[in-house]
Amino acid sequence: MKATFRHYLQDFDFGYLVAALLPLIGILPTLGDGIIETADGPLHIQRISAMITMLGDGNLWPRWVPWFHLGYGYPIFNFYAPGTFYLSGIIGQFGISANTAFVIVTTLAWIVGSVGMYRLARIFLPGRAAILAAMMWAYAPSRLFEVWDQGSMPQMMGAALIPWVFMGAWLVTQQPTRRHVVALALPLAGVVLSHQPMTFITALYVGALVVILSYWAGRQHPGTLRKRLLYSFGGLCLAGGLTAIFLLPVAAELQYVQASRGAEDTVEFLRSQFLSAEELFMQPPVIDLADIRYELPTTLGPMAGLLGLVGISALLRKRHFAIAALLTAGIFFTLFMLTEISITVWTEIPFFQQLRFPERFLRAGVVVFALAGGASLLLIPRRWQALWLAGSMTAVLLSAAPLMYPIQAPLTIEANNPLDEILWEEDERVWGTTSYDEFDPIWGEHIPLVRVAESSVYRDNPYSIVVRPTDILEQWPDLQAEQIAAKTIRIQTTSARPVRFHQYYFPGWKAWLDGEPTEVYGEDEFGLLTVDVPAGEHTVTLNYAGTTAQRAGTAMTLLSLGIVALLIISGRPMPQQPATQQKLESRWGIAIAGAVALLALVNALYISPNTTLFRRQSPPDSPVGMAHEVNVPFRMGDDEIMLLGYTIEQESVKPGEKLDITLFWRAQNVIEGRYRSRVQLVNLSVSEAWAVSEPPVPGGGNTNGHAPDKYFSDPHQLHVFETAQPYVGRIMVQMVEKYDGIPLLLPDGSDRLILDTIIRIEGDSEAVSTRVDYQFANQLSLQCISSVYDDGVLQVDLFWHVQNSPEHDYVAFIHALDADGAIVTQFDGPPLNGDYPTSFWREGQSLADHYTLATDEPIDSIGIGLYLPDTLERLSVTHDGVPVQDNRIILPIAEQSCVP
């Protein structure tokens, strides 16, 4: 027995143990009383709770949750991949709470992904290099963003399975066997059942990967290409069959929910979410403990770029040209999809723009970068590899350190019964646990956002379906309803009428009237379940029985599971790892595992709770990074929020580009209301906006409960309209009530603050046909003048060209003159309506300037000039080098074509 165990230890690859332990440094600080307060975590807790309840009640594959969306019901698990919630629901059957199940599954995802990354890297790299690849995956900024900021459990699991999908694609193309078909199908099915966006993204990578790898292997082994492609295609199809229980109903029934209609702002929102070149490999900044906002950057991080570049060089030096080319292609494809140059791809692929966040590509791209980074070890002589590995792993960890320390207190979500979920929806206004209410059925003209059924209905029996109470109280007082069972109601009415129930209609609902099947449909107002009930006393029974597509999908999945079992049983065992790729030696494995475990404990027990390493603490009234001080309060009732100041990233911007500004706010008392900021780039007269940023919540999230002991940073990215004029503008700031948009007021009673900083709009000048040549003090020239007088209205268009930037703000005058040269009416004011003072005009600009004057008297000619407002001294004017009398241009009324 001792010899057998010793032999097992000799053969065991300790790299798997190390890979499983690597995430421990990040995992331990997440374990506590509740969950991390993230963007998506609370809504996932509600879904887990629903899955626990429905599985416990015998519903083996829940699709419709009757108490979601304020008790109107919601097909959440029919359209949102239910895999991670199903796993959490099974865990919950052992008495584990939804909060704890969430922590277990997210932890499992982190470990599964790290081990999968090691397993994938071992195909190409020795154990030491594969450990570095696993480290780069486990502590990629996108991984920590998921854990501490977004909290999307399905996306975490989908991303964790991507290395396994890539490994399956490699195995089935290089060694096409039955078991390798399963090795591709199972993890790909896991991605599909975990997260739709990850499915779309993984499909782009794996579709190209299996074709490239099949042709590559086919060239090395002539005559095998067809078999390799066939087995690969078989793996993809088997994954589709395994997930048919989900995919088939989605394909058949997506037309019945709002998501099929798309969102109007999708393209513009998508544009605002692309990463800039600077963000791709940026070093995450340290977190300020005084800042309520906790929003982590989306980036690959500097170590991905640095080690990835070294790794590609190492592969080329070792003459692994094919692998280097494949990884390089993957790297460039990832960078392409993360940046705005890929916008055409996003908009042309059906439904792709609905992914909304290009940063999702970080989850797949980091696998490619980790493989390349792990290969960097190949460049190092073997005697120095231990030092390189230790240094690289330490550098990866230190680079990620600013993302590893939370400022949020642990959050426990009340999800003990369906009533808790409904009250949570009412409080957070997150309908059906979705961000955009995208799975709301299409029946009905309006979406009911007010719960009218009694709370006890959901507390006592979550499956209760009741007659809509307002119908009884307001419309039909003679209608009486008695709840016989959860889904059976005795109805008494003096006349025949349609009876509405407090539940959405959706395909799959069945109804029985007095025990006989009857029609059930969605009424026109809200799309509620409606049954036509004759006069008298009757019983109505309602049940969600599912659809043909749902039943067919279930049958296909069960059949596919049988095929998986058959392929595993009848297939040959998977071959052992090639001997040319050394496993991680036991002494290395034990040393690294011990170091990771020790560091994890020191970090969790001392560094995180007792120090401010990798963090900083600003004074709450003077944030680090605030460039311009303001200190102006915004008030509503007893709530007062002070705008401390702002930082603006640039002071010039082109139309179509982005302008970044961060506001810094501080509550002056404990805030009771919920507010959000509105930021606009406006012209100087505040008559036109050139860019608007109005996120649903300010940087600090919901302002309710904010206290003076902290501030909150509030970043805005303004996408400047293409129609913005090449003038200058300023930033206008408002703070408004979150839901109703009612503005908070400044001390002077106004509801908006104009910041001091001038923003220049850099734009191309409009081409002008030169018709005249009047020079103003060698600074400006008039290139074209057009005037039209019709029906008592004089229209004058001037086209200025800037020769030398003026130092003063001039006033323009337009004189309407009669036949005797007397002034009939005149206009005096700054050019361009004051939106662009002449002191801001820049050399080389051509500017169109329009004036309108009204008079009933005849006009024969016009007079034009400029003067200084303080002294009233006119600018000197010359024409063909000859001074103009009185420095006033006089021309007859004449319309000119000034724009070619």
DSSP 139: T
DSSP 467: B
Comparing CA positions, the residue from 239, 240, 258, 260 lying closest to residue 248 is 240
**Residue 7: what pLDDT?**
52
For residues 779 and 511, give the distance between their C-alpha atoms in angstroms, rounded to a whole number: 83
For residues 852 and 789, give the distance between their C-alpha atoms in angstroms, rounded to a whole number: 10
**Residue 35: what pLDDT?**
84
**Residue 577: what pLDDT?**
46
**Residue 292: what pLDDT?**
87
For residues 649 and 682, give the distance between their C-alpha atoms in angstroms, rounded to a whole number: 17
Ramachandran category for residue 873: left, alpha or beta (phi over 0 → left; psi -120 to 50 → alpha): beta
Residue in this structure with the two tokens 């950057």, named with its chain if needed: 297
For residues 475 and 438, give the distance between their C-alpha atoms in angstroms, rounded to a whole number: 31
The amino acid that residue 401 corresponds to is A
For residues 793 and 789, give the distance between their C-alpha atoms in angstroms, rounded to a whole number: 6
3-class DSSP assignment, residue 461: coil
Average pLDDT of the residues in 256-280 = 82
Predicted confidence band of residue 481 (pLDDT cuts 50, 70, 90): confident
Contact 531, 520 (CB under 8 A): yes
Comparing CA positions, the residue from 199, 287, 273 lying closest to residue 236 is 199
Tell which wins on pLDDT, 616 or 167: 167
Phi/psi for 544 (5° steps) reads: -85, 105
Q: How open is the CA angle 659-661-663, to the nearest 5 degrees?
A: 160
Predicted confidence band of residue 475 (pLDDT cuts 50, 70, 90): low
**Long-range CB contact pairs, 701-705, < 8 A, 24+:** 701/292, 701/293, 702/674, 702/738, 703/641, 703/667, 703/671, 703/673, 703/674, 703/675, 703/676, 703/738, 704/671, 704/672, 704/673, 704/674, 705/670, 705/671
Residue 893: CA count within 13 A, CB half-sphere:
16
3-class DSSP assignment, residue 111: helix
pLDDT digits (tens, 9 = 90+) for 510-524: 999 999 999 999 999
Predicted confidence band of residue 573 (pLDDT cuts 50, 70, 90): low
Average pLDDT of the residues in 318-338 = 94
pLDDT higher than 50, residue 578: no
Predicted confidence band of residue 262 (pLDDT cuts 50, 70, 90): low
Predicted confidence band of residue 579 (pLDDT cuts 50, 70, 90): very low
pLDDT higher than 90, residue 474: no
Average pLDDT of the residues in 871-891 = 93
pLDDT digits (tens, 9 = 90+) for 637-687: 999 999 999 999 888 999 988 899 999 999 999 999 989 999 999 999 898
What is the average pLDDT score of the chain?
90
Phi/psi for 771 (5° steps) reads: -105, -30
**Residue 554: what pLDDT?**
97
Q: How many CB atoms lie within 10 A of CB 495?
A: 11
54-58, 73-77, 424-428, 815-819 — which is least confidently predicted?
424-428
28-42, 261-275, 567-581 — which is least confidently predicted?
567-581
As beta bridge partners, residue 797 has 786, 850
Average pLDDT of the residues in 423-450 = 87
CA 386 to centroid of chain Cα atoms: 40
For residues 46 and 76, give the distance between their C-alpha atoms in angstroms, rounded to a whole number: 11
Which of 150-164, 253-267, 348-362, 481-495 ranks highest by mean pLDDT? Answer: 150-164
pLDDT higher than 90, residue 218: no
**Residue 697: what pLDDT?**
60
Contact 258, 354 (CB under 8 A): no
pLDDT digits (tens, 9 = 90+) for 357-375: 899 999 999 999 999 999 9
Six-digit token pair at 29? Answer: 């600080």
For residues 477 and 493, give the distance between their C-alpha atoms in angstroms, rounded to a whole number: 9
**Residue 519: what pLDDT?**
95
Predicted confidence band of residue 353 (pLDDT cuts 50, 70, 90): confident
For residues 839 and 828, give the distance between their C-alpha atoms in angstroms, rounded to a whole number: 17
Six-digit token pair at 68? Answer: 């979601």
588 Cβ neighbours under 8 A, 6+ residues apart? 14, 127, 128, 386
568-582, 761-775, 790-804 — which is least confidently predicted?
568-582
Predicted confidence band of residue 477 (pLDDT cuts 50, 70, 90): confident
3-class DSSP assignment, residue 796: strand
pLDDT digits (tens, 9 = 90+) for 101-116: 999 999 999 999 999 9
Predicted confidence band of residue 580 (pLDDT cuts 50, 70, 90): very low
pLDDT higher than 80, residue 574: no
**Residue 428: what pLDDT?**
83
Predicted confidence band of residue 187 (pLDDT cuts 50, 70, 90): very high
* CA dist list (Å): 290 to 121, 228, 293, 403, 620: 41, 57, 9, 16, 6
CA 767 to centroid of chain Cα atoms: 40
Tell which wins on pLDDT, 818 or 479: 818
Six-digit token pair at 399? Answer: 């680079």
Comparing CA positions, the residue from 152, 160, 185 lying closest to residue 85 is 152
pLDDT higher than 90, residue 134: yes
Average pLDDT of the residues in 405-432 = 81
**Residue 78: what pLDDT?**
96
Average pLDDT of the residues in 127-132 = 94
DSSP 147: I
Q: How open is the CA angle 64-66-67, to the nearest 5 degrees?
A: 130
Q: Following DSSP, what letter does each residue of 562-595 receive, concatenated?
A: HHHHHHHHHSPPPPPPPTTSPPPPHHHHHHHHHH
As beta bridge partners, residue 665 has 643, 712
The amino acid that residue 75 corresponds to is P
Six-digit token pair at 725? Answer: 């004029």
